[in-house]
């Protein structure tokens, strides 16, 4: 979603406007969690989250070499990766493609969706059409409030940690962290202003 202030539009919030293709309707992010450890894909969760925060970071490990004077003469960057953190409320997902199954908008269905079992190591697919860095590079999932998809995403994440939180005075939330390793190859022979 964008806001227009005096002069320049800015991006605002975790969701975009309602579009003709019903992509990202009402700020809902469709999620699919897949166990592919046995060689075949088993969907453990296909539903939706109203994300209160989506945080994407780029990280890498580095090594440096110094000369006898202590000056850095070379460096190496490796293990480049994207890390995504999602926090939000899981919705009931009144949809025929819901996993856990059941097309209902009830508290019982919302509790069933919240309690869906999954674990670190599962693949995470996200449908977020305005943010190609996180939108799934495979066919993005759909859900009750996010019935359209957008192709051309760059996301291919694996869950590294997940937390489900219930408290007496707040909404029940999921927090998911996932990682994607990147294959970055730089061209050119040295780090100079010409390359």
Domain boundaries, the chain: 22-181
Assign domain 22-181 to a CATH class. Answer: mainly beta
Tokens of 15: 């969701």
Q: Of 1-5, 17-21, 107-111, which has the strongest mean pLDDT?
A: 107-111
Please calculate the CA angle 47-52-56 and round it to the nearest 5 degrees: 90
Give which of 130, 44, 28, 137 is closest to 82, Cα–Cα.
Answer: 137
Task: Note the Cα 115 to chain centre separation in Å.
Answer: 20
Confidence (pLDDT) at 173: 94
pTM: 0.82
Contact predicate 192/174, CB 8 Å? no
Query: What pLDDT is stored for residue 194 in this prediction?
Result: 37
How confident is the model at residue 153, as a pLDDT? 85
In our burial notation (b when 16+ CB lie closer than 10 A, e otherwise), range 108-130 reads ebbebbbebebeeebbbbbbbbb
pLDDT tens digits, 29-55: 899 999 998 888 999 999 999 888 899
Tokens found for residue 91: 């919705």
**Tokens 């969760």 correspond to what residue?**
45
Instruction: Evaluate if residue 186 carries a pLDDT over 70.
Output: no
Q: Which tens digit of pLDDT belongs to each residue from 88-147?
A: 999 998 888 899 998 888 999 999 999 999 999 999 999 887 788 888 888 888 888 877
Q: How far apart are the C-alpha atoms of 88 and 49, rounded to whole Å?
A: 6
Instruction: Calculate the average pLDDT of the chain.
Output: 83
pLDDT at residue 28, as a whole number:
81
Q: pLDDT-based confidence at 14, cuts 50/70/90?
A: low
Q: 176 falls in which pLDDT band (50, 70, 90)?
A: very high
Residue 2 predicted with pLDDT over 50: yes
CB atoms within 10 A of CB 144: 21
Q: d(Cα 80, Cα 158) in Å, to the nearest integer?
A: 15
Contact between 49 and 59 under an 8 Å Cβ cutoff? The reply is: no
Listing DSSP states for 37-81 in one string gives TTSS-EEEEEEEEEEEEEEEEEEEEEEEEE-TTS-EEEEEEEEEE
Look at residue 19 and tell me whether its pLDDT is greater than 50: yes
């Amino acid at each position: 979603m964008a806001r227009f202030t005096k002069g320049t539009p800015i991006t605002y919030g975790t969701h975009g406007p309602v579009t003709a293709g019903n992509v990202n309707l009402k700020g809902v992010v469709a999620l699919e969690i897949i166990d592919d450890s046995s060689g075949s894909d088993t969907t453990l969760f296909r539903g939706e989250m109203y994300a209160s925060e989506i945080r994407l970071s780029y990280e890498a490990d580095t090594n440096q070499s110094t000369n006898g004077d202590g000056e850095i003469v070379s460096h190496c960057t490796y293990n480049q990766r994207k890390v995504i953190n999602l926090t939000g409320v899981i919705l009931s997902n009144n949809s025929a493609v819901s996993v856990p199954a059941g097309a209902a908008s009830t508290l019982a269905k919302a509790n069933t969706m919240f309690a869906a079992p999954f674990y670190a190591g599962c693949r995470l697919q996200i449908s977020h059409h305005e943010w190609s860095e996180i939108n799934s590079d495979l066919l993005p999932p759909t859900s009750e409030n996010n019935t359209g998809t957008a192709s051309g995403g760059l996301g291919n994440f694996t869950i590294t940690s997940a937390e489900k939180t219930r408290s007496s005075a707040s909404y029940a939330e999921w927090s998911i962290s996932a990682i994607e390793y990147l294959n970055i190859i730089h061209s050119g022979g040295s780090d100079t202003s010409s390359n």
